[in-house]
């Protein structure tokens, strides 16, 4: 396999200082399947870019940095997919809530003939605050009723791998998450995973949902009320585009 790993980053100075990129870089350096690690900075206003340029690009030869204006995590992932050189692309959250070692499970899923292999967290959401657990349950119910996303229990785990050709065809059909989208402050853009997987199903791609180790990591980039409202709006937008035949092209 030839994998491009995409890591979206927005004001991740604290996580970087904890050594998360060292863990990723050391693992990838010794793994024959990874050809590159694309860190896409989403217009960070802290020292994220400086730390990467000064300490990590010289240290890890497979690392490269793309600097975006601030548009949210989804557009950072899309940029990474568009610039990826590998036959397969993967994205993961920089906080390592799912350890990089779990990638072997996704690789196995792709090798078995699936076009997409997506990490799935336990429904218990270990150590996650009650508010996050309630929000997740409500989100699952709503997305199933409104979008009818079939057979996928966890759409939101930030640990996914796709065949690059499939990913490019999917992002070409996105309606909600386009270059015109803007973001203000931290934006987890949870609706992106929904729209991406919704289109993948419409195109008939094989999706393997694979249980992975996951540990809640508290982060300033998750704001319960703001993110909930944003996601509800995005679900309604996806439904609107569906009703108007925008996904049939």
| Cβ proximity of 246 and 175 under 8 Å | yes
| Cβ proximity of 118 and 90 under 8 Å | no
| Cβ proximity of 46 and 120 under 8 Å | no
Nearest to 155 by CA among 197, 125, 99, 123: 197
Please give the helix or strand (H or E) that residue 145 lies within, else none: helix 130-147
Give the pLDDT band of residue 37 (cuts 50, 70, 90).
very high
User: Rg of the chain over CA atoms, in angstroms?
Assistant: 17
Supply φ then ψ for residue 134, to 5 degrees: -65, -45
Identify the DSSP state of 53.
I
Nearest to 165 by CA among 248, 59, 54, 86: 86
Report the pLDDT value the prediction gives residue 172, as an integer from 0 to 100: 96
CA atoms within 13 A on the CB side of 157: 28
Residue whose entry in the numeric block shows the structure tokens 């997409």: 116
Residue 225 has pLDDT above 80, yes or no: no
CA atoms within 13 A on the CB side of 11: 14
| Cβ proximity of 190 and 227 under 8 Å | yes
Q: Return the domain boundaries, the chain.
A: 3-243
Give residue-wise pLDDT tens across range 142-170. Answer: 777 778 777 888 998 999 999 999 999 99
Choice among 14-23, 111-120, 180-189 with the minimum mean pLDDT: 180-189
Give residue-wise pLDDT tens across range 42-76. Answer: 999 999 999 999 999 999 999 999 999 999 999 99
- Second CATH level (architecture) for the domain 3-243: Alpha-Beta Complex (3.90)
pTM of the prediction? 0.88
């Amino acid at each position: 396999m030839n994998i491009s790993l995409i890591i979206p980053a927005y004001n991740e100075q604290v996580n970087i200082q904890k050594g998360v990129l060292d863990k990723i870089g050391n693992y990838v350096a010794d793994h024959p399947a990874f050809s590159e690690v694309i860190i896409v900075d989403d217009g960070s206003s802290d020292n994220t870019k400086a730390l990467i340029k000064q300490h990590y690009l010289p240290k890890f030869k497979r690392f490269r940095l793309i600097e975006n204006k601030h548009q949210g995590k989804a557009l950072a992932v899309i940029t990474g997919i568009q610039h990826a050189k590998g036959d397969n692309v993967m994205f993961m959250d920089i906080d390592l809530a799912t350890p990089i070692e779990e990638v072997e499970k996704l690789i196995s899923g792709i090798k078995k003939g699936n076009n997409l292999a997506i990490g799935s967290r336990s429904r218990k959401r270990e150590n996650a605050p009650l508010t996050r657990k309630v929000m997740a349950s409500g989100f699952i119910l709503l997305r199933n009723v409104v979008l009818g996303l079939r057979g996928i229990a966890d759409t939101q785990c930030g640990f996914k791998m796709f065949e690059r050709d499939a990913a490019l065809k999917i992002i070409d059909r996105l309606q909600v998450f386009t270059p015109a989208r803007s973001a203000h402050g931290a934006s987890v853009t949870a609706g992106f995973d929904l729209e991406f997987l919704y289109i993948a199903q419409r195109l008939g791609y094989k999706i393997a949902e694979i249980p992975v180790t996951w540990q809640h990591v508290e982060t300033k980039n998750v704001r319960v009320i703001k993110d909930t409202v944003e996601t509800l709006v995005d679900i309604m937008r996806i439904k609107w585009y569906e009703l108007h035949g925008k996904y049939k092209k």
